[in-house]
Structure 1
Amino acid sequence: MRIKNGIILAVFALSMISFSSCKSGKGNKSVSSTTGWDYNTPDNGGFEYKAGYEQETGPGLVFIEGGTFIMGRVEQDVLYEWNNAPRRVTVPSFYMDETEVRNVDYLEYLFWINRVYVDYPEVYRKALPDTLVWRRPMAYNEPMVENYLRHPAYAEYPVVGVNHIQAQDYCKWRTDRVNEMILVNEGILELDVNQQNENVFDTEAYLYGQYEGIQGKRPMEDLNPNNESRRVRWDDGLLLPKYRLPTEAEWEYAALGLIGNSYDERMTSRRIYPWDGHILRNADKKERGKMMANFVRGNGDMMGMAGDLNDGGDITVDVHSYYPNDYGLYCMAGNVNEWVADVYRPLSFEDMDEFSPYRGNVFKQKVLDEEGYIVEKDSLGRIRYRAETDKDIMNRKNYRTADNRNFEDGDAVTNISGADSWVESESSTGDMYSGAPNSSLGSLVSDRSRVYKGGGWRDRAYWLSPGARRYLDERESRDDLGFRCAMTRVGSPMSNTKK
């Protein structure tokens, strides 16, 4: 009987092993293939794992599937600037606004900060676009100064007069409002329209436990048996990555829309503009001869003759004007130029990464309290940062830190390659680029020089090519310069519709 029972026990044990092996197999996403413990159950401690995550597309965005392309100028360099030589790079998938940010979008932003930051009126004043960009010494543009931003006739037109810094602040605000509404729609938070000053929803502040808000009717369940509820964490995948300005590579890649002129990894034609062909008029039979973008056709010709306007825009036009490119993006050529994230350098193409190239990295560390855990906030409730110091670098030698805006510029102070060809009096970027006192060097290029692309309503066709690039001080603005936002794609470079 003892042997018989032993055989029975052995058979039972083998069957349990077989069952456990099947249960924790490769296709089973509810059980750990490492330990055999069930995910997402308080009975096993409550470790959470979200299988099959697919990123939601944020409001206003279009998915841009990444890939390799030839970045740089494809049109004749008639100015002989040699600042954008062609080179092959790979751009990861990302999201981009379907249109330029409109006046109504920016007015919503201004309304919100004016309503919320009641004790900080300077926040509102700092965000105001410069409407005086419309004024010109020998032109009567005063109606644009008074009407363009706020009159409902221009609500769907692109916002202008916004500098690079203001554009980045708008992206930050948009991130917080979108993520706040996600939590409200999930029932995790109640919408608090009375939040003011420091007590405002900030994505990073919330993630670090510095914003409580009003708890909703469906709080986040904590599967840890020691707790009842918790805040949403970043690893829940519920909150979206931040809205931001696109990099120069992302913007140029999205503008070209190469999915429309390629087949099985073969490009059928090299594009000069965001559409096929080398001409600026529509080749479609029904719309043949119509202009493809809002630009200046010739001296003094901003829109054509009455009765047959060539582009229908004396200044800017509605952001949904003309045909979208093959990614579904409107006005990637003409209407207004657009800020991108990169710092301008004439020879950026010589110092670039093959994957997701970008110039402008300044690595920073969050400001922690004495215990080193909780991140501090500024007076407006936003997360504070500071640049790494030499002491930080020594304490964490494996942490690569630098002001990479000046990568391989020859600046011994900020250049991570350690170039030492500059004497001490010429060891700063200011000395190199800005023409500091007692220096014979001088240039309009500095760490504040930001790239803008796309061409605008004041430009000739030459600037409509996505490869063309210009720069402006990040504190300045123009009447033909706006922006649109982008967002990082996490996970697979292909959307779930292509898998």
Structure 2
Amino acid sequence: MKNFYFGVLGLSVLSVLNSCKTSGGDRGEVRGVSGKAFKQEQPYGMVYIPGGSFLMGQTDQDVTFAQTAQNKQVTVSPFFMDETETSNAKYKEFVNQVRDSIAITNYLQDDKYYYKPGGKNAKPDPSGKKYINWNYVAKNPVFSGGRGKGKAGAAASANQAKLQGMYYQGDDRIFDKNEIDVRLLKYNYALMVLREASNNRFDKSKRRSDFILRDTVPVYPDTLCWLNDFSYAANEPMVQGYFSHPAYLNYPVVGVTWRQVRAYTVWRGRYNDAYKDARGIPHRQPYELPTEAEFEYAARGGRIGNDYPWGGPYIKNSKGCLLANFKPGRGDYASDGGYYTVSVHSYFPNDFGLYNMAGNVAEWTASAYDEAASTFVHDMSPTFNYEAKASDPEVLKRKVVRGGSWKDIGYFLQNSTRGYEYQDTAKSYIGFRCVTHFLGRDIKDKRSNY
């Protein structure tokens, strides 16, 4: 019996040895898988925020006695952050690509707008999926209005005929103009809810699909928010022009819900991934909203104990000029240079190079709102997240809003002031900016890898 086991063991060892034969280049030593050298890039329009520790919470008197921003020393790892609030121009790029995607897929159904398999013997995707060729779309706009000469003009006119179903119909039309029915513009996306996956990692009954969030979100901003937010205010011109007129392209997008903003971050990541996939370049980390700790840390600009992003404690400079777009005094909106919002590059940036971290528009964060969050979140990269379901009570759908806006008094511009709004509401004074997290060690860390 002993000989039998020895023989089996001997065969097993021999099989293992035979299966592990190498080409000899590594001399039988484990050296790790090979890969291309990776160099961290700085995303366009973003600034690098070095990691660090800071005292998060109230530095000035708690005027409201809310006690929702108690002091806590926390550490934040390095990340990249948009230097400005997301502008109408950038958000409109998202809306336009969703519009064109729906037009090509549901209305045109023209093979010229899709990638063609390469090579003589290439076959279509076995799954039957087709992929839009956005380079072709850029050269041959879907919504060209029938302009052009010769074949190009004829093709554009043919497109227009097929696209009639995307415009308002019947009595919804004004002067018989072709206007896109924005209710059709919806974005479908999916992402992993990693926290829920972690919480249920030992549950054998769970499948991967249980932790995939799938959502369909209307992407067009709620332009009526300019009237909804203010009773008895003549804001019709803002409704009619703020998102659609080119004069406002570099102004911050507003009227977007938290769910719409998250859809934008997913689209932005996929847009960049497509470019990198075509060139064999590794992806960067996903685009996301900043946590409230990241937002406060970035707003402080590396300073300690400052009330406002520019330092403080004053909201005017030595010449008496206001340093942000907000509601000074008892309602003198114009004295800071803007009646409503202003361009995203207005005023001076803080020490990290970030514009309007206070004022102009308040900004959505990734964090769910809880009055006592500072008492139970971790002190390393702290945040409190909750994925609210449609059936949940409204109190669970609150998301943290930071920074204060054009219609707020100075208190709400303080770095530590917390506020919230419900994730499905759109306001004329709330916008957003994105972050993407740093891969590898800190750029400023010059120490050895060992």
Query: Taking structure 1 as the reference length, what is the TM-score of the superposition?
Result: 0.59
Alignment of 1:118-133 (within 5 A): 118=103, 119=105, 121-123=184-186, 126-133=218-225
**Shift, 1:73, TM fit:** 1.5
* AA partner of residue 106 (structure 1): Y
Distance 1:495 1:159 in 2: 33
Alignment of 1:302-381 (within 5 A): 302-304=333-335, 311-360=336-385
**Shift, 1:139, TM fit:** 0.9
* AA partner of residue 290 (structure 2): P
Alignment of 1:134 with 2:206, yes or no, is no
**Partner residue of 2:35?**
49
* AA partner of residue 337 (structure 2): G
Matched residue of 1:175: which SS?
helix
**Shift, 1:476, TM fit:** 0.2
**Shift, 1:33, TM fit:** 10
**Partner residue of 2:292?**
248
Alignment of 1:174 with 2:268, yes or no, is yes
Instruction: Please say if residues 295 and 457 of structure 1, whose CA atoms lie closer than 8 Å, have aligned partners that are also in contact.
Output: yes
Instruction: Please say if residues 365 and 402 of structure 2, whose CA atoms lie closer than 8 Å, have aligned partners that are also in contact.
Output: yes
**Partner residue of 1:96?**
81
Distance 2:30 2:362 in 1: 56
Q: 1:316 to 1:50 in 2, by over 3 A?
A: same
**Partner residue of 1:493?**
442
**Partner residue of 1:279?**
314
* AA partner of residue 325 (structure 2): N
Instruction: Please say if residues 315 and 457 of structure 1, whose CA atoms lie closer than 8 Å, have aligned partners that are also in contact.
Output: yes
Instruction: Please say if residues 101 and 484 of structure 1, whose CA atoms lie closer than 8 Å, have aligned partners that are also in contact.
Output: yes
Matched residue of 1:445: which SS?
helix
Instruction: Please say if residues 101 and 159 of structure 1, whose CA atoms lie closer than 8 Å, have aligned partners that are also in contact.
Output: yes
* AA partner of residue 309 (structure 2): P
Instruction: Please say if residues 98 and 185 of structure 2, whose CA atoms lie closer than 8 Å, have aligned partners that are also in contact.
Output: no
Matched residue of 2:224: which SS?
helix
* AA partner of residue 427 (structure 2): R
* AA partner of residue 483 (structure 1): F
Instruction: Please say if residues 369 and 399 of structure 2, whose CA atoms lie closer than 8 Å, have aligned partners that are also in contact.
Output: yes
Instruction: Please say if residues 54 and 496 of structure 1, whose CA atoms lie closer than 8 Å, have aligned partners that are also in contact.
Output: no
**Partner residue of 1:149?**
243
Structure 1 spans left out of the alignment, 5+ residues:
1-30, 40-46, 187-231, 262-266, 305-310, 363-404, 407-428, 435-443
Instruction: Please say if residues 130 and 161 of structure 1, whose CA atoms lie closer than 8 Å, have aligned partners that are also in contact.
Output: yes
Distance 2:28 2:371 in 1: 52
Q: How many residues align?
A: 314
Query: Which of 82, 85, 93 pairs up with 2:70?
Result: 85
Spell out, residue by residue over 1:238-293, the C-alpha distance to the aligned partner (whole angstroms, 9 max, x if none). 211111100110011000001xx4xxxxx5xx20000123111123xxxx222110
Alignment of 1:35 with 2:66, yes or no, is no
Spell out, residue by residue over 1:21-60, the C-alpha distance to the aligned partner (whole angstroms, 9 max, x if none). xxxxxxxxxx9798176x7xxxxxxx42345x33211222
**Partner residue of 2:204?**
none
Distance 1:141 1:332 in 2: 25
Spell out, residue by residue over 1:59-90, the C-alpha distance to the aligned partner (whole angstroms, 9 max, x if none). 22111001100011212111111111010000
Matched residue of 2:365: which SS?
strand
Query: Which of 458, 461, 477 pairs up with 2:407?
Result: 458
Report the identity percentage: 38
Distance 2:94 2:447 in 1: 35
Distance 1:155 1:180 in 2: 25
RMSD value, Cα: 2.4
Spell out, residue by residue over 1:7-34, the C-alpha distance to the aligned partner (whole angstroms, 9 max, x if none). xxxxxxxxxxxxxxxxxxxxxxxx9798
Deviates more, 1:122-131 or 1:240-249: 122-131
Alignment of 1:164 with 2:258, yes or no, is yes
Instruction: Please say if residues 66 and 493 of structure 1, whose CA atoms lie closer than 8 Å, have aligned partners that are also in contact.
Output: yes
Distance 1:300 1:467 in 2: 23
